[in-house]
Amino acid sequence: MNPLVSLIVTSKNSARTIEACLRSAREQQYQPIELVVVDNASSDDTPQIARRNADIVIDKGPERSAQRNAGIGAARGEYVLVLDADMVLERDVVAAAVEAAQGGAAVVAIPEVSFGQGFWSACKTFERAFYARDPVVSAGRFFSRQAALDAGGYDETLTGPEDWDLSMRLAGSTPIAFARARILHDEGRQTLSDLFRKKYYYGRSLPAFVRKHGSAALKRLNPARSSLIAGIGEMFKHPLLACGMIVMKSVEAAGGTAGMLD
């Protein structure tokens, strides 16, 4: 008999995307699964959509780390897959993640493919393609529920690097495995100001993350990633996207730095 897998979806005013997310979760080839939605006081139709589609719906804040911990605590599965409400799963994601975990992986990352509207979303899609399977950049989304509980769950003092932090603690010295299926990430319509604000907010947690993990944290924050350098040929093939990506990464770096210095 297959082990139960709990899919934990965190949301905040996610009515535009959450139904597609939950539908893709329900339509997984792998069974049995349960769907747990942890909402953060949404003022739109997110709670109603969640109650129509999920097995368990919780309201919890104030941040994503606390939401994820609440979901892990409420879940009943042997394994958990942690998702955001703007993600859509290929039908074999859960099956591929279980296969990797049963093969001995403590933490399984799911490669992401971005999509959205507008030029900056296209630049984000272009960027993500370089490190979809980069073990330095990627954080695990699939792991044993009990292992996460034993590790103390997500660090609720971190927002942004909390997924790196838990993955590093769970994996230890073993490499993160990658599932052979993908998550499609709906970026919507990105703007440079949105990207700056997001990285500024995340940047406020980076000093604590670096203090906690030292050189391993700095390695993940290094913008000169080997996966990007290895993709220089693709940049020459798509110069407009490459130039846009450089501008976008510069804005994100400025936002993150401003957050760190705040």
Tell me the domain boundaries of the chain.
Answer: 5-189
Report, as ranges of residue numbers, the positions in the chain whose pLDDT lies below 70. Answer: 224-228, 230
pLDDT score, position 140: 93
pLDDT score, position 226: 66
pLDDT score, position 138: 85
pLDDT score, position 155: 97
**End-to-end Cα, the chain, rounded Å:** 51
| CA dist 167 → 8, 98, 210, 243, 253 (Å) | 16, 16, 15, 32, 23
Residues sharing a CB contact under 8 Å with residue 206, sequence separation 6 or more, in sequence order:
160, 161, 217, 221, 256, 259, 260
pLDDT score, position 224: 67
In 118-245 the beta strands, taken as DSSP E runs, fall at: 142-144, 177-178, 183-189
d(CA 260, CA 202) in angstroms, rounded, equals 9
pLDDT score, position 203: 94
Burial class (CB in 10 A: 0-12, 13-18, 19+), 49: buried
CATH number attached to the domain at 5-189: 3.90.550.10
